[in-house]
Amino acid sequence: MATIDPHLATSDLGYMTAEQLSEALERGTLTSVEIVTGLLARIDAIDAPASAIGLRSILAVSDDAIAQAAAADDRRRAGNVLSPLDGIPIVVKDNIEVRGLPSSAGSTALMARPHGDAALVETLRAAGLIILGSTNLSEWANLRSPESASGWSAVGGLTANPWATDRSAGGSSSGSGAALAAGLSPLAIGTETDGSIVCPSSLNGVVGMKPTVGTISTHGIVPLSSSQDSPGPMARTVRDVQLLFEVLAPSRAKLRTAHVAAKAVVASTWKTGHPKTDALFEETMARLRAAGLDLEDREVARPRNQDQDDELTVLLCEMNDDLNAYLSSRPGSPESLAHVIHFEEQHHDVELAHFGHEFFEQAHALGGRSASRYDEARRRNLEWAITTCLEPALCDADVLVAPTYGPAWKQDLILGEDGAKAAPTTMAPAIAGWPIACVPMGLVDGMPVGIGIISRPGDEAKILDFAGTIEVTLDLNADGEFRPMFPAARRG
């Protein structure tokens, strides 16, 4: 891979926030057509497989993106602005149905395009956002094989990390995180079952939030687990995530006041196992305390092997039922998980070129929620996540904070995630269905790492408020240099 032209890497348009673009639209110094035209050119120069970098974060571009932008400009001239984000582009993870886009979950089994939009896409359009395209992902949202490589799909190929193009972009919302970091869109939608927004946010140096399960409709989204799935907003700043969350869930999005008054518990027992990342986290907590934040160290329960096994059992049982229900109602797709397994075996060279589909086979064999193991596994899982872990940790606090992941590991389609380092930060809130966000805390060996922030169900505003305090205190982009330069692959 070639190294990108520095001028293109630092393009002002590419790194304007949604809030800045909205202000420019209001002043009349930019139009939506100009914004979309510039971003499409940037995608063509950086992201397309034949481009200088070939980032592969964008799986498909909307054919009507310019037409959407022209309509937004017409509304603005007529004084009919629909929301603060009217006329702002957004990219959407490709497991979410968008008319005219593949909505494939990265699988060639789902190439029959849907005729309508997912419920959340209808909400975005009603607020005037421009659907610029769909983003690549870990195929089937990464619950297909224990040997999978994050960011690879049969439809979109392997997404690269713009901070180092031989490193992982994380998953499963790989393309959403990489596209934001690369300045290809100011806003993105990801989905998370356990870690799939937090991981790419951490590895790509952006902000992402998984809201409380059930806050944002999952209708029209390729499912894994109804008890853990949630779509959520992603952007380069906390404020942009807040603005997008206000569109998606206005009743939940009001910010709290008195930032410094919030009490946070630091999970002293949740470490990534990557020495430099854990050291930076301790330094960052000291810096936040010096700035006046109330941070109390507290030992928080770590998952045992039984807890991890129980979560996998629950996910596999729910995936069998939920995916079967979804597929049976999507025209032109395989009718069930069993049909997907058969399809992938028939198209082995494409679908199983790098790893298998062992989790699909296990899910099919378990047979869904009626499996004898399901109820007990779910009961134990909730008891660990809520009673043993989250409730004691948050008993007298607003938020719980911990590191998320070490720096992005080398991409490897043979060994999968062999170099990954992660704290157990996403697991308990995932099982419980509680909200979690990730905000950048700095660079380790030139690669971004993040802070996870957890709160109780419905307390997304507390999370965003505290994330905003961290962002302002750390001020990582004070010199405008907290952005990737797309270095070529290197040894080491």
Contact (CB, 8 A) for 58 and 175: yes
Residue that has been written with the tokens 């700035």 in this structure: 291
pTM metric for this prediction: 0.97
Q: What percentage of the chain has pLDDT greater than the value 70?
A: 96
Q: In 10 A of CB 221, how many CB atoms? A: 25
Q: Average pLDDT for residues 297-326, to the nearest whole number?
A: 98
- Two tokens, residue 478: 């004070």
**DSSP labels, 23-63:** HHHHHTSS-HHHHHHHHHHHHHHHTSTTSSS----EEEE-T
- The pLDDT-based confidence of 206 (bands split at 50, 70, 90) is very high
Known catalytic residue: 271?
no
Known catalytic residue: 202?
no
Contact (CB, 8 A) for 399 and 264: yes
Q: Give the least confident one: 4-13, 155-164, 308-317, 377-386.
A: 4-13
Structure confidence by residue, pLDDT tens digits, 337-385:
999 999 999 999 999 999 999 999 999 999 999 999 999 999 999 999 9
pLDDT at position 259 over 60: no
pLDDT at position 39 over 60: yes
Contact (CB, 8 A) for 4 and 53: yes
The domain segmentation of the chain, as residue ranges, is 6-303+383-474
pLDDT at position 258 over 90: no
Q: Looking at the domain that runs over 6-303+383-474, which CATH code has it been given?
A: 3.90.1300.10
Instruction: From the candidates 11, 148, 168, 172, give the one annotated as an active-site residue.
Output: 172
Contact (CB, 8 A) for 330 and 113: no
Q: What pLDDT is stored for residue 473 in this prediction?
A: 97
Known catalytic residue: 93?
yes
pLDDT at position 179 over 90: yes
**DSSP labels, 210-253:** EPPTTSS--TTB--S-TTT-EEEEEESSHHHHHHHHHHH-GGG-
- Two tokens, residue 352: 């199983």
Q: What pLDDT is stored for residue 225 in this prediction?
A: 98
Instruction: From the candidates 168, 173, 185, 196, give the one annotated as an active-site residue.
Output: 196
- Two tokens, residue 258: 């008195």
Instruction: From the candidates 22, 57, 62, 93, give the one annotated as an active-site residue.
Output: 93
Q: What pLDDT is stored for residue 4 in this prediction?
A: 58
Q: Average pLDDT for residues 385-397, to the nearest whole number?
A: 97
The per-residue b/e assignment along 163-180, b for 16 or more CB within 10 angstroms, e otherwise, is: bbbbbbbbbbbbbbbbbb
